Amino acid sequence: MLTLPDALKRCLHDSMTWSIGRISDKQGAIFPVEELAISSAVAKRRNEFVAGRTCAREALHALGYPATALPVEEDGRPAWPDGVVGSIAHSGEWATAIAVDRGRFAGIGVDLEQDEPLEKDLYAMVLRPEERQLLSQSTNPDFSAVDVAKLIFSIKEASYKAVSHRIGRWVDFQDAS
């Protein structure tokens, strides 16, 4: 069976650097400007944030960048160093980050999700009407409609991360199909 780190590695271009690990193992030091962003966060959110920033710094180090702060932009995205595009994700007990030189890619998005169905009450928010229609007609025995709904959610989440800094506006789940 493929491990999560091996699965991530297989999805990435050779020029991309990345780090992945258990949130409990990725509790590195953070910069004061990052501390401000989570000063009132509960322990779970704080641990996720620190693990994501630790993974991001490890990915940046592999690109040749020194340890640097990754402050939070107004819309919640991490502010990557000039010349870099990157993405951070965490879910359950895992955190990951991917970084690449901006000259190679315009954007990158990654998402991690728990292996459980998308909550039915989120379908209307996440899935466009035509996507809900396709799910209702699905006959593939290898994938249940709830598995596909969660996959669509994850793809849209990663897509938002990849393009939001380029288009300069909030991207809603209904904006992508």
pLDDT of residue 79: 94
Q: Within the chain, which residues score under 50 in pLDDT?
A: none
CA-to-CA distance for 117 and 145, rounded, in angstroms? Answer: 9
3-state per-residue secondary structure call for 144-159: CHHHHHHHHHHHHHHH
Beta strands in the chain (DSSP E): 17-22, 84-91, 94-101
pTM for this predicted structure: 0.89
Q: CA dihedral in degrees (32, 39, 87, 98; nearest 10)?
A: 60
pLDDT tens column, 115-139: 888 998 999 999 999 998 888 777 6
Burial 120-132 (b: 16+ CB within 10 A, else e): eeebeebbbeebb
**pLDDT > 90 in the chain, percent:** 63
pLDDT of residue 164: 81
pLDDT of residue 117: 87
- The H or E element containing residue 71 is none
